[in-house]
Amino acid sequence: MAEQTITAERESSLIEAVPKRLFINGEWVDAEGGATLEVLDPSTGRLLCTVADASEQDGWNALKAAEAAQPGLAAMAPRERANILMRAFELMHERKDDLALLMTLEMGKPLSDSYGEVTYAAEFFRHFAEEATRISGSYQTAPAGGARFLVAKQPVGPTILITPWNFPLAMGTRKLGPAIAAGCTSVLKPAELTPLSMLALADILHEAGLPAGAVNILVTSTAGKVMEPLIRSGIARKLSFTGSTGVGRKLLEQASERVLRTSMELGGNAGFVVFEDADVDAAVAGALLAKMRNTGEACTAANRIFVHRSVIDEFASKLAAEMDKLPLGRGVEDGVRVGPLVDAKQLDKVDALVTDAVEGGAKVLIGGTPVDRDGYFYPPTVLTDIPSGARMRQEEIFGPVAPLTPFDTEEEVISWINDTEYGLVNYVYTESLRRGIRVAEAVESGMVGLNQGAVSNPAAPFGGIKESGLGREGGDTGIEEFLETKYIGIAM
Ligand code: ADP
């Protein structure tokens, strides 16, 4: 990461340079009637800029462009699709200073986190560039002889992609990479709080040679109204969503009307378990990462930290000391490791969850009340003695709050971990390989970090079970979500 001093002039010239219109059919266009929405800087609460605010008609224009571009993209040589993704990967690296700063300005995360995300996001393009030329099928003799089975893969068709504000770039490239690799066109709707990163990415894809209409970017303040008719139309054959379980449920219902393929990356309520035989310092470092990355605004964030009673005092004091050391401030400032939350709603939610736990008897080791300054800041907070009825045992905190609860037995902690409708990821710290595998198998989640506090990797299958979602992104399964299997039975 290149830490640098960012001047107000650098911030405003960067914002100035971002295209602030809709990207439809390879062109930048205003929204119908010239409507715009405001993008704020969460570290000050002040206006950064306005961008075009799409109407239902703009939505239809984007979907029609994706539909028209579909046959061309499907017919394009896989190597050419791979080359476009590789060029986009390289351009993202060339422009990493701009992309990282833009993300920090619109979302608030510290620049160090933004640099990490640019690298992570670009990696999806490289990974899927490599996958694009490996799409293959099979040929088989029927078990009874006679016929042959030819099995081929084809793109599912136009797609609708909806992404959240917490990882404005990576959640986009994680969907666009496999869509382009598989030969699927798309309409992508970024979160209205953080549209700038995706608008900058549209410029990169265009420059990398993506044909007009293959990716269309639709920013709107009326997501439900604009997206629902598009989803229900059946023109797109696939819906991929990352966001809250509540919205995911609604979208699944809409997608069912025309039986769209769906991928859903929804909420999480990760457990983080530290056994008595764990390396406590490694567990503290892992918890710091799993809790504080992105200022806690991640569906993979450690939401419930369970520590064996024999080591909880040591763990709690070390974690509190580490969290207390993290400098808080505007994400653009040198050395800052804790940025603001994304908006006032998020700040109020975190504050309400902490207040609820404290009123129920939780003890505050550090933090515990919002920071008194402009912007939406909540300080690193460590709580112990979390009452079993506390809302934060069931709800995603999405902030820099670490709730610690002691446990006595393996059986007890596994049952607590699984006592949630979510099932995205859990983290397990133990020096015993046998116990590690046993617990990893017993916890109900799509992913497990065994002695590590971060699992995301573009080459690994990311996704949840239970109400955390459907399908996997990344890995060798990620592209399958954008491919149909066609079986051709051949008489011989
Ligand atoms: P969060 O609570 O983290 O903001 P959401 O699930 O509300 O998560 O938002 C994730 C994405 O889903 C955003 O792009 C948002 O605009 C979009 N979204 C929210 N409601 C709807 C809806 N009814 N239809 C389509 N997209 C929606």
284-332 residue pLDDT tens: 999 999 999 999 999 999 999 999 999 999 999 999 999 999 999 999 9
d(Cα 304, Cα 296) in Å, to the nearest integer? 12
CA max distance for the chain: 78
- The CA angle 312-318-323, to the nearest 5 degrees, is 120
Residue 141: closest CA among 492, 435, 470, 482: 492
Residue 113: closest CA among 271, 265, 301: 301
What does the pLDDT read at residue 5? 78
Cβ(203)–Cβ(99) below 8 Å: no
d(Cα 364, Cα 357) in Å, to the nearest integer? 10
Residue 299: closest CA among 271, 270, 274, 323: 270
User: Nearest residue CA, atom 22 of ligand 1?
Assistant: 224
Atom of ligand 1 nearest to the CA of 166: 3
Atom of ligand 1 nearest to the CA of 398: 3
User: Nearest residue CA, atom 26 of ligand 1?
Assistant: 223
**243 CA from centroid of ligand 1 (Å):** 6
- Give me the mean pLDDT over the 115-143 stretch: 98
**171 CA from centroid of ligand 1 (Å):** 13
Residue 91, pLDDT > 80, answer yes
User: What mean pLDDT, rounded, does the chain reach?
Assistant: 97
d(Cα 35, Cα 111) in Å, to the nearest integer? 31
- Give me the mean pLDDT over the 102-117 stretch: 98
Helix (H, G, I), strand (E, B) or coil at 427: strand
- Give me the mean pLDDT over the 462-489 stretch: 97
Residue 445, pLDDT > 70, answer yes
- Give me the mean pLDDT over the 12-40 stretch: 97
- Give me the mean pLDDT over the 377-402 stretch: 95
**53 CA from centroid of ligand 1 (Å):** 15
> Distance of alpha carbon 273 from its chain centroid, rounded?
23
- Classify residue 338 by its DSSP letter: B
Atom of ligand 1 nearest to the CA of 250: 23
**164 CA from centroid of ligand 1 (Å):** 7
- The CA angle 466-257-230, to the nearest 5 degrees, is 100
- Give me the mean pLDDT over the 97-106 stretch: 98
What does the pLDDT read at residue 63? 98
Residue 3, pLDDT > 80, answer no
d(Cα 50, Cα 34) in Å, to the nearest integer? 11
Beta bridge partners of 307: 274, 406
Per-residue pLDDT band for 1 (boundaries 50, 70, 90) equals: very low
User: Nearest residue CA, atom 14 of ligand 1?
Assistant: 191
Atom of ligand 1 nearest to the CA of 220: 16
Ligand 1 mutation target, pool 162, 228, 348, 395, most atoms within 8 A of CB:
162
279-297 residue pLDDT tens: 999 999 999 999 999 999 9
DSSP 434-482: HHHHHHHHHS-SSEEEES-S----TTS-B--SGGGEES-BSTTTGGGGG
**272 CA from centroid of ligand 1 (Å):** 27
Residue 422, pLDDT > 50, answer yes
Known active-site residue 299: yes
Helix (H, G, I), strand (E, B) or coil at 176: helix
Catalytic one of 117, 192, 299, 473:
299
Atom of ligand 1 nearest to the CA of 190: 14
A 10 A CB-CB count for 234 gives 12
Cβ(479)–Cβ(473) below 8 Å: no
Residue 4, pLDDT > 60, answer no
d(Cα 224, Cα 198) in Å, to the nearest integer? 19
- The CA angle 217-476-123, to the nearest 5 degrees, is 50
**281 CA from centroid of ligand 1 (Å):** 38
Ligand 1 mutation target, pool 198, 247, 265, 300, most atoms within 8 A of CB:
247
Ligand 1 pocket: which residues have CB below 6 Å? 162-164, 189, 191-192, 223-224, 227, 243-244, 247, 250
A 10 A CB-CB count for 408 gives 11
**201 CA from centroid of ligand 1 (Å):** 20
Residue 191 main-chain phi, psi, to 5 deg? -65, 140
- Classify residue 64 by its DSSP letter: H
Catalytic one of 106, 265, 322, 473:
265
- Beta-carbon contacts of 94 under 8 Å, excluding residues fewer than 6 positions away, are none
A 10 A CB-CB count for 135 gives 19
Atom of ligand 1 nearest to the CA of 247: 6
**222 CA from centroid of ligand 1 (Å):** 10
Residue 55, pLDDT > 50, answer yes
Residue 180: closest CA among 101, 92, 313, 80: 80
User: Nearest residue CA, atom 16 of ligand 1?
Assistant: 191
